[in-house]
Amino acid sequence: KRFKRIYPNLLFILFLFLVIFFIFYDFLPHEFDQNFFSIIFSILGISNIFYTINPNLFYFTDEIRWLIHTWSLSVEIQYYFLIGLFFYVHFKFFRLNQNFIIYFKIFIITLFIISFFIFILPEKKFVSDYYSLPARLWEFSLGSIAYLFPNKKKLNFNYLLFIIFIFICSASYLSLNYKLNIAVVIFFSYIMIVFSENSLSNNFTNFFKFFGKISYSFYLWHL
């Protein structure tokens, strides 16, 4: 289901970009190489590795990086492979029983803790680099934790949104380390998912629900 959601939109955007870029854009030779390999590695789900081994392709620069945002899709795909491997190994060597969900929860929590500590380490290639898988697994693991550990106490979505808005603005104004900014956004997103009231339905929350439903497609073409 995840691959069916990811790849049709991804392939369409890559094809559209290919047409527009190579027909209408007066590109330089190094841009051709960069975007050609970006397309190939995006399809293969390893574009984050491509950007890791290229020191001149950091995300936060003034130069436009047309497909650099596909690194996160590659990390997402790799996460699904990792989870799939866990299920395969368990079903291959162990019986399916009531304890499986306990093992899976322990696995996800352990993955989250290890990955988060790797994330806050000084940057090292393939370990705690901006694009690296080990330093980004905690974000996807936190999404799994939100599903595996539902919360009965609910808070008003509008208040939560206001709080996260204040924190994001404060972090941006103070020009804090980008890792801290990322952590703030991710953890407050987790709080909103777990603690927000599902019964809320008004124009304000519907506005965000709409963008939540189209967020993946929006993310693909925003650059």
What own/partner pairs with CB < 8 Å and gap ≥ 24 does 101-105 have? 101/148, 104/148, 105/148, 105/149
Residue 97, pLDDT > 80, answer: no
User: What does the alpha-carbon distance between residue 64 and residue 60 come to, in Å, rounded to a whole number?
Assistant: 10
> Rounded to two decimals, what is the model's pTM?
0.82
Residue 171, pLDDT > 80, answer: no
**Counting beta carbons within 10 angstroms of the beta carbon of residue 68, is it exposed (0 to 12), middle (13 to 18) or buried (19 or more)?**
buried
- For residues 45 and 77, the answer to whether their CB atoms sit within 8 Å is yes
Average pLDDT, the chain: 84
User: What does the alpha-carbon distance between residue 181 and residue 183 come to, in Å, rounded to a whole number?
Assistant: 5
Residue 1, pLDDT > 60, answer: yes
Which single residue is written with the structure tokens 């989250």? Answer: 112
**182 vs 64 pLDDT, higher one:** 182
Give me the percent of the chain exceeding a pLDDT of 70.
Answer: 94
Residue 167, pLDDT > 80, answer: no
Express each pLDDT in 108-141 by its tens digit. 999 999 999 999 988 888 888 889 999 999 999 9
Q: Please list the residues that pair with 155 across neighbouring strands.
A: 196
pLDDT at 41: 94
- The count of residues in the chain is 223
